[in-house]
Amino acid sequence: MAEETKDTKSSNQMWGGRFASGPAAIMEEINASIGFDKKLYAQDIRGSIAHATMLAHQGIISGEDKDKIVDGLNTILSEIEAGQFEFSRKLEDIHMNIEARLATLIGPAAGRLHTARSRNDQVALDFRLWVKEELQKTETLLTNLIDAFLDRAQEHAETVMPGFTHLQTAQPVTFGHHCMAYVEMFGRDRQRVRHAIEHLDESPIGSAALAGTGYNIDRHMTAKALGFREPTRNSIDTVSDRDFALEFLSIAAICATHLSRLAEEIVIWSTAQFGFIRLSDAFSTGSSIMPQKKNPDAAELVRAKTGRINGSLIALLTIMKGLPLAYSKDMQEDKEQVFDAAESLELSLAAMTGMIRDLEVRADKMRAAAGSGYSTATDLADWLVREAGLPFRDAHHVTGRAVALAEEKACDLADLSLEDLQAIHPAITADIYNVLTVEASVASRKSYGGTAPDEVRKQIKWWRSRN
């Protein structure tokens, strides 16, 4: 009972003299964020060390107090990383937990640390630092995934497969070209990540509660010490801004959508009906009842995590949508969304990179499917335009009649006799057979960004030069 009274007294001191008694149990439950914001401990300590160093440099606190503060904070960092730090819900958040422990370690000097700052700019700093570091991790993970695709594209620049629209066979492409489509998609994600890092690269500390401070602080010094390009320029916006978190979640949602599309293709391609790929045992599971099954669970879970990430984005947009300037307690609800999305995205990117590196490509199955569905019909139409001088719409009509005849005869276009084709249009010659194979079709697509193997290799080379 005595211990409980001591904790309550400590909590009251943190709240200040305005409150005659501690918060009720319900208030404590709704108000506390230490359960999740303890993840920010390293950023909080790093920011506090930079702040204390600046205060001493400016003569606002003594060098002796600064040294005590820095030593105490480093001790706390070691305690947390060793699992020896006791986090208290009564102290609400990571800031107060660290400050209370610092007071125990070094005494009155700890009270000087909060000079010229507020929890409002402190949490903005901690969260920015965390998101910046997470974006840097995401950039690395995306680079790893892009590298995996570039390796597979190089390996399969000539491996023919069907290209699809509406999930119907459209035209032959190469698997290398298909891989490079994902390089483009994840390359855009990485570029968005880099832009987001640039956007948030401003230090909030020194904005205080919302109006700045009357102390002679040096915000450029703390910005530099913390690795930011410069300090923010408006103290009201600084403490109320969560654009950096929203931008991270937006990027994560777009990237997760790309991952989900890829996961869907992996699920489809690994079915017995397609058989284009085999997943390694490392990224598959079996069935509890059907011994023949090999389930693409990793891909399915990547696909599912898109829903969690999208949900986090919508949640934070909704939290922020009606908040007046500057800070409101609603913003305490921002971190769990970002933490959860970051964990899901990290895991999804790592899992997908592993799947792409490990999967076995079944080139024979891809080649057999590439010629199905009259995939070279467009090549016939293009030949009629190019060699026989037909307007494309007329060539389209002639080709449609050829497809209908092939369907009637249950054969491929290349298996129709010259007499059959000339009966449809007399301008057709034996040269038509040079474009009716899937290999010839693929080789002919030499336009910039096309599926011709040489063009695919050019794009691989370009990406490797910038990756």
What pLDDT score was predicted for residue 1? 39
Answer whether residue 458 shows pLDDT above 60. Answer: yes
The more confidently predicted of residues 256 and 286 is: 256
166 in catalytic set: yes
User: Residue range 400-406: average pLDDT?
Assistant: 87
User: Annotated catalytic residue: which of 166, 288, 447, 465?
Assistant: 166
d(CA 458, CA 467): 14
Is residue 171 a contact partner of residue 441, using CB atoms and an 8 Å limit? yes
Answer whether residue 112 shows pLDDT above 60. Answer: yes
d(CA 160, CA 439): 7
| Whether the bond into 350 is cis, omega within 30 of 0 | no
**Residue 13 in tokens:** 């001191």
d(CA 466, CA 121): 37
Least confident piece of the model among 46-55, 179-188, 380-389 = 380-389
Length of the chain: 467
Answer whether residue 128 shows pLDDT above 90. Answer: yes
What is the pLDDT confidence band of residue 244, given thresholds at 50, 70 and 90? very high
What pLDDT score was predicted for residue 288? 44
Given its phi and psi angles, is residue 83 left (phi above 0), alpha (psi -120 to 50 degrees) or beta? Answer: left
What pLDDT score was predicted for residue 418? 87
Give the tens place of pLDDT for each residue, 352-389: 999 999 999 999 999 988 877 677 778 788 888 888 88
Amino acid at 27: M
Answer whether residue 44 shows pLDDT above 80. Answer: yes
What pLDDT score was predicted for residue 291? 43
Least confident piece of the model among 39-48, 164-173, 279-288 = 279-288
**Residue 348 in tokens:** 């999804």
Q: Give the mean pLDDT of the chain.
A: 90
What is the pLDDT confidence band of residue 14, given thresholds at 50, 70 and 90? low
User: Residue range 154-162: average pLDDT?
Assistant: 95
User: Residue range 135-161: average pLDDT?
Assistant: 97
d(CA 443, CA 434): 11
What pLDDT score was predicted for residue 341? 97
What is the pLDDT confidence band of residue 2, given thresholds at 50, 70 and 90? very low
What pLDDT score was predicted for residue 411? 83
**Residue 12 in tokens:** 């009251």
User: Annotated catalytic residue: which of 287, 328, 372, 417?
Assistant: 287
What is the pLDDT confidence band of residue 4, given thresholds at 50, 70 and 90? very low
What pLDDT score was predicted for residue 13? 53
**Residue 216 in tokens:** 């002679």
Q: pTM above 0.85?
A: yes
What pLDDT score was predicted for residue 150? 98
**Helices marked H in 321-432 — which ranges?**
334-358, 363-370, 377-388, 392-409, 418-424
287 in catalytic set: yes
- Three-class secondary structure of residue 81 per DSSP: helix
Helix, strand, coil percentages in the chain from 3-state DSSP, rounded to 5: 70, 5, 25
Answer whether residue 392 shows pLDDT above 80. Answer: yes
User: Residue range 399-420: average pLDDT?
Assistant: 85
